[in-house]
Amino acid sequence: MWPTLLSEPSGGLLLPLPAPTAGHGSPADGLDRQWFLTINGFARHTGWLQPVMTAYADYGIAIFAGLLLAGCWIARRDGAAEAMAKALWAPLATLAALAINQPIVHHIAEARPYSGLSHILVLAHRSNDFSFPSDHAVMAGAAAAGLVLTSRRLGLIAILAALVMAFARVYIGAHYPQDVAAGLLLGATFTLAGYALQDPALTRIVARLRLSPLRPLLIDSRGDNTPHVR
């Protein structure tokens, strides 16, 4: 079997890669590959966009961290235990969803696009991890769903950021479209289902914590006099 070729981000140098460990063989997989190649062609012809998308695909997690912190700040000013319970669940669910995703990734063991396709533009750093579902997309989906629970405005921003993250991961050649779609769905489903199962227990826990020395972290000094933010 001939080795797969990879284009390095810095130029046109082609390096041999190991043969893929998993392939795209079904009709759905074939369509997924075609979508990937279409996006890859778009990436190849938008050199002006490549640095932006590469930076966001790699470091956009900081935006989600900032949004999650903003959610906690809004909930703290809200003053309601239920609001803070939702705000705290968002980052906890994000971390838990990532932890759950890892055994799924290793069980399915889908090869990265650059391990199975030759002569594609690859802007991503090569990884030894598998491709399906995308960890970045799981994180984005879980965080966005948690922020929808916390604040509609923050949730809309997070949904947009999650969709751009998913596209960026395909744009840089790190994942197939089905990898990021599954990641978004898995992350969002875990967050929403998990909260539904734990509410109102999580609210009661937060209410008790507000009677502890942690109270200043969980409620604004103005308490319930602050108008609710939604």
- Residue written as token pair 């972290």: 217
Q: Which two tokens stand for residue 211?
A: 């009677």
Burial-class residue 205 by CB neighbours within 10 Å (0-12, 13-18, 19+): middle
Cα 126–Cα 100–Cα 98 angle in degrees, nearest 5: 50
Burial string for 95-130 (b: 16+ CB within 10 Å, else e) reads ebbbeebeeebeeeebbbbbbbbeebbbbbeeeeeb
Residue 188's CB is within 10 A of a number of other CB atoms, namely: 24
- Contact call for residues 157 and 129 (beta carbons, < 8 A): no
Per-residue pLDDT tens over the stretch 11-28: 433 334 333 444 454 445
Q: Which two tokens stand for residue 228?
A: 């609710």
- 3-class DSSP state for residue 27? helix
Per-residue pLDDT in tens (0 to 9) along the chain, 230 residues: 333 334 444 343 333 433 344 445 444 567 888 899 999 999 999 999 999 999 999 999 999 999 999 998 888 887 777 888 888 899 999 999 999 999 999 998 888 888 878 888 888 888 878 889 999 999 999 999 999 999 889 999 999 999 999 999 999 999 999 999 999 999 999 999 999 888 788 878 877 777 777 677 667 666 444 444 34
The separation between the first and the last C-alpha atoms of the chain, rounded to the nearest angstrom, is: 58
Half-sphere exposure of 127 toward its Cβ, with a 13 Å CA cutoff?
21
Q: Which two tokens stand for residue 161?
A: 């950021």
Note the pTM of the prediction, 2 decimals.
Answer: 0.80
Residue 35's CB is within 10 A of a number of other CB atoms, namely: 15
CA dist 25 and 157 (Å) reads 36
What is residue 24's predicted lDDT score, i.e. its pLDDT?
Answer: 52
CA dist 203 and 200 (Å) reads 5
CA dist 72 and 89 (Å) reads 10
CA dist 57 and 172 (Å) reads 8
- Residue written as token pair 């390096």: 15
CA dist 38 and 46 (Å) reads 13
